[in-house]
Structure 1
């Protein structure tokens, strides 16, 4: 079996993450001297994203979106389908499935939930739960133009190769902060999305 099939991913997740307990991950791991992360924030907003592994045979892919430029949070960036957890949602899984349907038209009956990566804290004040799942094609998606400019896939083999994980720095709120970037063809995957992908690599493929 190829290392990067959807079935191999499923087996790895169920084997490595079942019953495991991890410290919260987040942007702060690259920026330990900066204190505005995590539980000490006055207002932490809970969110969930769907890491959807699309079954593409020998080389599965990860479903990603290009966010529209006018959004208040992470405008114009590449992201997983997802958003804030509403009171009506059935926890992070319910939120991730709802947001994936609202943003890109992904039907929940094509999705097999495998687990999650725990909490990931962002410098913008979110406590994100990345929900892990496999997705069965064929996919007939319809991006919501109010939130998503484009939906696309990137090979799992590329994103889980540490040689493609670049450590970058930039100024944010007057301080130098470090982040991961994973440029792929004309796409620039960076920030929270790349950070979550790095956690996925560390816990499932490293």
Structure 2
């Protein structure tokens, strides 16, 4: 029979809050000062990628077993994708994790980049990069739409055993989506949600 101390030990060993290895990912929301004005750096995914080619995202990617934690993964991915030296990256704080439709999590971290002069993109992953002033984003609220997600029990789901089964067959949920426009760029999806979380924190 398990004791409370054994349960505590198992959860501590799992370190579920600090290290998520599997399909989970981590990203940096990079702040940069340009001409005394605060900007956010974004990157455009390579057109050669199979997943979301040409879409706008933050530096980041999958958390690997070799990463000490989610923050380390976000920093590593940023150095690999943009060629920014780790010494030029200063993590300020963790932002709220984002739950994805695939039932995984993305762990965002707010960071300051001290210099962008030596950016050298990894062409295999990144097509280009750009920045947007924070003041512009705060003064231009996003367009808001909704994505319909239909819940349909899959193979092996014992729908006949649960109460109120009709409420779970073909049920439709609406997920809000936010669209930020800047010049010819459209920022939306998970990146848009992370960005909105951050900007909402700056509002009075």
The Cα of 1:126 is off from its aligned counterpart by 3.3
Indicate whether 1:74 and 2:38 are aligned. Answer: no
- Give the corresponding residue for 2:180: 182
The Cα of 1:54 is off from its aligned counterpart by 0.5
- Give the corresponding residue for 1:107: 85
- Give the corresponding residue for 2:142: 165
Counterpart mapping for 1:17-56 below 5 A: 45-56=23-34
CA–CA separation in structure 2 for the residues paired with 1:79 and 1:50 = 10
Indicate whether 1:90 and 2:54 are aligned. Answer: no
Q: Is the 8 A contact 1:48 1:93 kept in 2?
A: yes
Q: Which has the higher contact order (CA 8 A, sep 6+)?
A: 1
Q: Is the 8 A contact 2:84 2:116 kept in 1?
A: no
- Largest Rg, 1 or 2: 2
- Give the corresponding residue for 1:199: 197
Indicate whether 1:59 and 2:44 are aligned. Answer: no
Q: Is the 8 A contact 1:65 1:150 kept in 2?
A: yes
CA–CA separation in structure 1 for the residues paired with 2:176 and 2:28 = 24
Indicate whether 1:152 and 2:150 are aligned. Answer: no
CA–CA separation in structure 1 for the residues paired with 2:87 and 2:68 = 16
The Cα of 1:177 is off from its aligned counterpart by 4.6
- Give the corresponding residue for 2:159: none
Seen in structure 2, the aligned counterparts of structure 1 residues 89 and 179 have a Cα distance that, compared at 3 Å, is same
- Secondary structure, counterpart of 1:114 in structure 2: strand
TM-score by length of 1: 0.71
Unmatched segments (≥5 aa) in structure 1 = 1-43
The Cα of 1:187 is off from its aligned counterpart by 0.6
CA–CA separation in structure 1 for the residues paired with 2:149 and 2:79 = 32
Q: Report the RMSD for the aligned CA atoms in angstroms.
A: 2.3
CA–CA separation in structure 1 for the residues paired with 2:24 and 2:119 = 26
- Give the corresponding residue for 2:164: none
Seen in structure 2, the aligned counterparts of structure 1 residues 172 and 184 have a Cα distance that, compared at 3 Å, is farther
